[in-house]
Structure 1
Amino acid sequence: MKHPSVRVCSAVALAAVLTFGGGAAANAAPAPTLAPATTAADPLDFYATPASLPANNGDLVRAEPSVFYVDPLKTIRAQAAVQRIMYRSVNSAGTPIAVTGTVLVPYAAWTGSGPRPLVSYAAGTQGQGDQCAPSRAMAAGEEYEGVFLAGLLARGYSVAVTDYEGLGTAGSHTYMARASQAHAVLDAARAAQRLGNPQIVPGGPVALAGYSQGGGASAAAVELAPQYAPELNLKGAYAGAVPADLPAVGRNLDGGLYTGFLLYAVTGMSATGGLELSPYLNAAGRAKLAATDTECTVQSIVSSGFLNTAQLTVSGQKLSSLLDLPEVKPVLAEQKIGNGRAPQVPVLLSHSLLDDVIPYDQTRQLAKRWCAAGSSVYFDTTAGATHMGGYAAAIPQAFIFLERRFSGRSAISNCWLVG
């Protein structure tokens, strides 16, 4: 759920990358040998779901060479070997699904101790259309988090970026579905380790990271990891601006600049919970939802910003009134992060007091729940202006946190301050 201004995001994040260094990847090395690619006959068929899936979550369906351009003009090509992947995961109901993503391995040699670390990165809001998938945006130079990803590569980390359920592949993108997003992030790490690339070894150190929708996915994944993916050598997770309790987020979005993201959530929660909400929408509402389901973030901000959503419902109430429907409440309650679950590895949570999209109290309350459960949490409060400013302000601490986790240094917790 993040402002998609590529120029602003890139400029700020690039400054952070340059300021906070290139980590242990300073010495050049030949490009690593990749596993043989298994490709479809037509590149467009890569995203087609096969008739059958492999036996285990994280198993590869197919892989092919790809490319990652950091900028939309395609003048900066990431210094990494890039593969587009499809792998098996499961959705919120436990049904096997095919998910796509991207794995990146820096060309530079890893000079740190032990195996090269892997970061499973959860992207922020991309949109609902299949063309919005991060794997497609990265190849086109249009991924607005591209410079942050380049910063991870500059530090010598391999990176796996999931496309999530239904973003590029068959079916609806189940936007903000806690379990599905968590599974996709964890299974992306598994798939990367099963590529056969000697630079990403099974049992090697892994961390999770993400902001906004990605912060929710990273947070959900770190608390599910002990049960869902206990074999991963998970060192920690960074989660920024976590939408931990969806009803409060939905009401905050309704009628504002990011109203389109509320429309995404209506589709995502409908698909996740098997809900039929069309009877509550009038003809304009159904048409609006159908149009939004083909859009990416910039289009939705333009087309739905400051929309009076009361014009979309049969009742004449705001769209967020659907959050109070008896059949919707249980689906939303299931998405709450930190609801009887807690991480077993250190976590960095970050949120800006001035966030205009996800209320600051969302992450603060999550920190309190996790701290009460005994987790090691460092809650970083920033004053970055707006949601985008909070994203930029979190970058330095995120890189420091990952460096500390991968170097084996002791975790820092400030649970005593959370209250």
Structure 2
Amino acid sequence: MRTLGAGAGAEDRGRVPTVVGASAALAAVALGAALILLPLALPVIVTLAGVGLVVVGLATVVGADGTGRHPTSARIAVGVALTAAGIVVLVWRTASIRTLLWVMVAALVVHGIHTLVAALRPGTDGRVAGVFSGAAAIVLGLLCVAWPVLAIELVRYAVGAWLVFVGIRGLVGLVWRGGHGSPPTAPGSGSGPAPGRRRGRTVVAGVAFVVAAGLAVGSAFLLHGDGRPAPNAFYTPVEPLPGEPGVLLRAETLGAGVPDGADGWRILYTTTDPDGTVVAASGTVVAPSGRGTDALPMLSIAHGTTGIVPRCAPSLSPTPFVDGAAAALEQMVTVHGWAGVTSDYVGLGTSGPHQYLVGQAEARNVLDASRAAAQIDGLELSADTVVWGHSQGGHGALWSGQIAGDYAPELTIRGVVGMAPATDLFALAEATKDEVAGKTVSAYIASSWNEVYPQLDLAGHLNPGTAHGVGEIADLCFNEQDVIAALLRGSQIPEQVFPDAVLDGDLGATLRENSPTGPWPAPVLVAQGLADPLVKPSMQQSWVDGRCAAGEPIDYRTYPGLDHMGLVAADSPLTPQLVEWTLARWSGQAPTPTC
């Protein structure tokens, strides 16, 4: 009786890990499926992932994780670590998402290493499958490091897939053991899983590893950017600089990217920072090839966001005139005989910092480029100009018109055009703070303004876990292949870049100071696509309403169905309207404000 009782007790004890293992395996599959299939908010994703870590940890402790070995001290330690990681994720709700991500990454890597070590022990069944699944877990963990908020989505699907895989492996292991909790026998013993089942497990693990490796290779390619070269010696001025702004330092002929029927130049000239310091800036000029000796009408163009480091200058691009309303510019030059002058802005091409979305700086750069372009040999330019700008350039164009009378009185502004302009910078930052494009723009502001406005100490006031992403984006341009990497890096930032307390404080006040408010000395056209995800139509409408209420006569035109870039595309209805409106300003026709 005693022997029978002892045997029964052993049998009951053997059933405990079986019951726990089956429950844990089913729970892992359910949690993984929920992560993969359900539309979930970020906090719910983190919660389910934390529960999943606890489930797998418990299964590992009791030896029911499908690896086919009884609990050992090492296995128990790994299980406890996984369980603890899951509990940290669940309890530490005030930590940044990136911090919690690191906890989960560590858990994935530890579990992967444990699986690899277990697979390489003598007598282990399914050694190849173990190597593949362990390596896949490690690679997935490292991928999570490489991608932060986008990595949260990777955590969602990768951890979901991992939970499903571990759960299925646990269930299969229990079935193979016949439900008695005994491990599979060593190879060659005459029992254990059938070769077909063993091959199936190996194939599943191999596929998981191939997918993880493919994601790693693709990530490296997408996040690398285009590796464009740094500016050459043309962009380094000879010191000392002349003491006044708007002086042409040098010019050279452009070949690539110049429209047919036009000539192009790259220029280096002097301008001033808002504090009055004379510095060098670069830019481009385009004019019709068949020009006579008469002074040409001039377009002063402020370009959109291209980045904040020197190699992002439009004049360094093989297509230097494609920014903004490129089709309209080509028509103005080759059909109507105008010249176009575009500043790169200080810090793009020349040494920085680039004063991104700093209104006074952009405007001075634009106006001084127009002054300097008139000094190119063989090019006669009128002192009258119409100012264009798209996006960041719309912000710069509005500021150029706003300060021209005081800063460059020899230039006569005939009109100002802002296309999807960044007008109310605080409202723009507030509306897009949780979006990928908004985080990318915020990263440029954080890096640029940390140097331009050191008193704000933005580097010390970023949301926890965002500094790495901000630094990566700051070194990427916002055009060509770099824009893909920049937006993907923006998707990695796990939270809004600036805490609300910072936005509502001195940073918010500085954003408002750099928002253009007028008055303007000439007619103003503001064009806005109603499907623009970056410069929100509601924000633009509020800004226009405010300027109208202040007595500024603005011609406000909206374009249903057009997004941020579609507004300035060649086939946009704005293109012919922009040409017509600009020619009307030159001929002295009365403006047609909508307020």
1 CA distance for matches of 2:266 and 2:417? 24
Q: Distance in 1 between matches of 2:503 and 2:425?
A: 12
Between 98-107 and 324-333, the greater mean CA deviation after superposition: 324-333
**Counterpart in the other structure of 1:134:** 314
Do residues 95 (structure 1) and 277 (structure 2) align? yes
Normalized against structure 2, the TM-score is what?
0.55
For 2:514 and 2:245, how far apart are their aligned partners in 1? Answer: 21
**Hey, what does 2:264 align to over in structure 1?**
82
Question: Structure 2: which 5+ runs fail to align?
Answer: 1-230
Q: 1:387 & 1:104 partners in 2: Cα distance? A: 25
Q: Give the direction of change, closer, same or farther, for the CA distance of 1:256–1:270 in structure 2 (3 Å limit).
A: same
| Equivalent position SS for 2:245 | coil
Residue aligning to 2:555: 378
The structural deviation recorded for 1:357 is: 0.5
Deviations 1:79-107 (A, max 9, x none): 22222111111223332221100111111
Alignment match, 2:534: 357
Of 548, 570, 585, the residue aligned with 1:405 is 585
Which residue is equivalent to 1:231? 410
SS of 1:367's partner is helix
Give the letter aligned to residue 378 of structure 1: D
Instruction: Identify the range of structure 1 (48-57 vs 138-147) with the bigger mean alpha-carbon deviation.
Output: 138-147
Aligned residue type for 1:63 = A
Query: Over aligned residue pairs, what C-alpha RMSD do you find?
Result: 2.7
Superposition deviation, residue 373 in structure 1: 4.3
Equivalent residues in 2 for 1:107-126 (5 A)?
107-109=289-291, 115-126=295-306
Q: CA deviation at 1:216?
A: 0.6
Please give the per-residue CA displacement for 1:353-372, whole angstroms capped at 9, x wherever unaligned: 22111112343344334434
**In the alignment, does 2:224 pair up with 1:45?**
no
Aligned to 2:469: 288
Instruction: Identify the residue that residue 252 of structure 1 maps to in structure 2.
Output: 431
In the alignment, the residues of structure 2 paired with residue 281 and residue 152 of structure 1 have an alpha-carbon distance, to the nearest angstrom, of 44
Which residue identity does 1:406 align to in structure 2?
W
Q: C-alpha displacement at 1:411, in angstroms?
A: 1.8
Tell me if structure 2 keeps the 8 A contact 1:164–1:184.
yes
Is 1:342–2:524 an aligned residue pair? no
Does 2:281 align with 1:104? no
Identify the residue that residue 17 of structure 1 maps to in structure 2: none
Q: Which has the higher helix share?
A: 2
Residue-by-residue CA offset, 1:389-413 (whole Å, 9 max, x unaligned): 2333432221111111122222222
Alignment check: 8 A CA contact 2:388 2:397 kept: yes
**Partner-residue secondary structure (3-state), 1:328:** helix
Q: Please list the CA deviations of residues 279-304 of structure 1 after superposition, one character each: whole Å capped at 9, or x if unmatched.
A: 23478533322222221114244444
- 4+ long deviations beyond 6 Å: none
Instruction: Give the TM-score normalised by structure 1.
Output: 0.77
Q: Is the 8 A contact 1:255 1:307 kept in 2?
A: no
Q: In 1, Cα distance between the equivalents of 2:306 and 2:478?
A: 6
2: CA distance between counterparts of 1:146 and 1:395?
9
Count of aligned positions: 357
1:108-145 residue CA offsets vs partner (Å, 9 max, x unmatched): 3479xx74201011111112232221111155787576
Within a 5 Å distance, the mapping from 1:81-230 to structure 2 comes to 81-109=263-291, 115-138=295-318, 146-154=326-334, 155-201=336-382, 203=383, 205-230=384-409
Contact between 1:172 and 1:267, CA under 8 Å: does it hold in 2?
A: no
- 2:505 is aligned to 326
Paired residues of 1:383 and 1:393 also in contact (CA < 8 A): no
Q: 1:56 aligns with which of 244, 248, 271?
A: 244
Question: Could you tell me how far apart the structure 1 residues matched to 2:348 and 2:581 are?
Answer: 29
| Larger displacement relative to structure 2 (385-394 or 139-148) | 139-148
Cα contact 1:310–1:319 (8 A) shared by 2: no
**Which structure has the greater CA radius of gyration?**
2
Q: Give how far 1:50 is off.
A: 3.6
Cα 1:342/1:320, change in 2 over 3 Å: farther
Letter in 2 for 1:159: G
**Rounded Cα–Cα distance in structure 1 between residues aligned with 2:505 and 2:288:** 49
Q: 1:50 to 1:342 in 2, by over 3 A?
A: same
- Is 2:440 the partner of 1:269? no
User: Percent same amino acid at aligned positions?
Assistant: 28
